């Protein structure tokens, strides 16, 4: 990995480099994606099925686009019993964590006849997109479906691309069934996003689309935003480890590589106050690379987006971590909990040397759908709140309105909205 001194210029250059990984930077694909979206919007199933044959190499039609219970039952027979047990254990933790995020409607009233409040209503229908090309992620299936179920979403539909034989990954099907999905469709890419956004003869229109995907999926979600809600425009995965001289270099190296293996554009950064640790981490990385099957992907990731930043002191290191606002942030310092209190920007924070990032990916319970590309400065992890909407409740009696009605009329007059003022005035004529 590149070892550089942490200075304002080096930090600025790194931030610019990381931002180039954002899907928003890939405008060359925009026209292609927009054409796909518009075609599906106009022609529904016909366009969807044609694109499935073109991009996925298999024939899907109205008769087989919906996954049957028989196909799901067959998937259970193909999934290892131990893996099924792990999925069910993870589900318990994920569900328990998200249950604590439940929000309830509230109302405040006064003796004057004023009632104010907020009403929480689950979304009616949500679409979950699951990728199916380079890698298969049943863990992401759980992370996207469970908070929607906890929120009380009435119907959850999932789309995922089929293989050339028209089949879906068994682990993905089993994870979706265990999490509580209602319907699963064989559809992938930008065409699946468009189908969920506008509806086709086979796939229902949803209120919100969530789930990761490649650049075409990301740009399609961007294109349909406004017609439906979306979770975010997710970029490549990233990790930042904040460490001092007390950190175990072998643990640090292993955790950096755990994200670098995702794809060539993943980012792995170590910010440390110890030059000795930096060099030991690089040595450990070289050793791990001799063993890991995804070596080629990891090496490309580290060559392009792998950095070790040497800070003069811990405060400078913390400041850099907040500026980078990483998706995953691990803290391996002498007083990790105190450092955590100074972190303002991170998708998920892992505290201590045994709280490795894969713990969050698979098992601990917090959601692993996290803000990327610096958006942790203003976005949060996927959660129950993403699947509910809020309505304000306002109720005034005549006695409560009377003493303030002239104030409202005066405010409306200042804005030139006389009909607003009249709506209050007529109640006291």
For 173-193, the DSSP string reads HHHHHHHT-SEEEE--HHHHH
Note the pLDDT of residue 76. 97
Measured CA to CA in angstroms, residue 46 lies from 42, 52, 202 at distances of 10, 10, 10
Residue 428 to residue 396: CA distance in whole angstroms:
14
Helix or strand or coil: residue 317?
helix
Residue 295 to residue 275: CA distance in whole angstroms:
25
State the DSSP string of 379-423.
-----GGGGEEEEEEEEE-HHHHGGGHHHHHHHHHHTT-HHHHHH
Active site residues: 327-328
pLDDT in tens, the chain (429 residues): 888 888 888 888 888 888 777 666 666 788 999 999 999 999 999 999 999 999 999 999 999 999 999 999 999 999 999 999 999 999 999 999 999 999 999 999 998 899 999 999 999 999 999 988 656 789 999 999 999 999 999 999 999 999 999 999 999 999 999 999 999 999 999 999 999 999 999 999 999 999 988 889 999 999 999 999 999 888 888 999 999 999 999 999 999 999 999 888 889 999 999 999 999 999 999 999 999 999 999 999 898 889 999 999 999 999 999 999 999 999 999 999 999 999 999 999 999 999 999 999 999 999 999 999 899 999 999 999 999 999 999 999 999 999 999 999 999 999 999 999 999 999 999
What ranges in 306-404 are assigned the alpha helix state H?
A: 314-324, 336-340, 357-362, 398-401
Note the pLDDT of residue 293. 92
Residue 351 to residue 241: CA distance in whole angstroms:
10
Note the pLDDT of residue 9. 86
Residue 343 to residue 338: CA distance in whole angstroms:
9
Please report which helix (H) or strand (E) contains residue 127, including its range.
strand 125-129
- The neighbour count for residue 163, using CB atoms within 10 Å, is 14
Note the pLDDT of residue 133. 61
Residue 22 to residue 379: CA distance in whole angstroms:
15
> Is the distance from CB of 253 to CB of 241 less than 8 angstroms?
no
Measured CA to CA in angstroms, residue 171 lies from 126, 325, 363 at distances of 21, 32, 16
For residue 349, list its beta bridge partners.
329
Q: Which of 251, 240, 258 is nearest to 284 (CA)?
A: 251
């Amino acid at each position: 990995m590149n070892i550089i001194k942490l200075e304002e210029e080096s930090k600025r250059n790194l931030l610019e480099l990381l931002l180039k990984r954002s899907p928003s930077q890939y405008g060359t694909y925009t026209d292609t994606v927009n054409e796909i979206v518009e075609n599906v919007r106009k022609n529904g199933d016909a366009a969807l099925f044609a694109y499935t044959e073109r991009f996925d190499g298999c024939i899907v039609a109205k008769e087989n686009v919906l996954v049957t219970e028989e196909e799901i039952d067959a998937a259970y027979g193909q999934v290892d019993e131990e893996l099924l047990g792990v999925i069910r254990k993870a589900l318990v933790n994920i569900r328990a964590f998200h249950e604590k995020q439940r929000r309830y409607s509230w109302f405040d009233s006064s003796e004057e006849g004023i009632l104010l409040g907020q009403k929480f209503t689950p979304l009616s229908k949500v679409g979950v997109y699951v990728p199916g090309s380079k890698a298969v992620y049943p863990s992401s299936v759980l992370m996207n479906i469970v908070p929607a179920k906890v929120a009380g979403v009435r119907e959850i539909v999932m789309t995922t691309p089929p293989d050339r034989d028209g089949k879906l990954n068994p682990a993905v099907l089993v994870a979706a069934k265990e999490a509580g999905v209602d319907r699963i469709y064989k559809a992938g890419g930008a065409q699946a996003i468009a189908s969920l956004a506008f509806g086709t003869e086979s796939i229902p229109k949803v209120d919100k689309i969530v789930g990761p995907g490649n650049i075409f999926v990301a740009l399609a979600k961007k294109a349909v935003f406004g017609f439906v809600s979306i979770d975010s425009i997710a970029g490549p995965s990233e990790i930042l480890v904040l460490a001092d001289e007390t950190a175990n270099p072998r643990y640090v190296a292993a955790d950096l590589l755990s994200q670098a293996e995702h794809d060539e554009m993943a980012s792995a950064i170590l910010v440390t106050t110890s030059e000795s640790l930096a060099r030991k981490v690089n040595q450990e990385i070289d050793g791990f690379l001799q063993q890991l099957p995804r070596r080629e992907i990891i090496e490309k990731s580290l060559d392009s987006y792998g950095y070790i930043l040497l800070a003069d002191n811990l405060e400078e290191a913390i400041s850099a971590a907040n500026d980078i606002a990483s998706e995953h942030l691990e803290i391996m310092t002498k007083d990790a909990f105190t450092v955590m209190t100074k972190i303002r920007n991170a998708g998920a924070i892992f505290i201590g040397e045994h709280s490795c990032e894969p713990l969050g990916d698979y098992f601990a319970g917090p959601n692993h759908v996290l803000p990327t590309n610096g958006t942790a400065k203003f976005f949060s992890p996927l959660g129950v709140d993403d699947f509910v909407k809020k309505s304000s409740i306002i109720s005034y009696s005549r006695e409560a309105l009377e003493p303030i009605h002239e104030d409202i009329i005066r405010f409306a007059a200042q804005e030139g909205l006389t009909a607003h003022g009249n709506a209050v005035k007529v109640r006291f004529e």
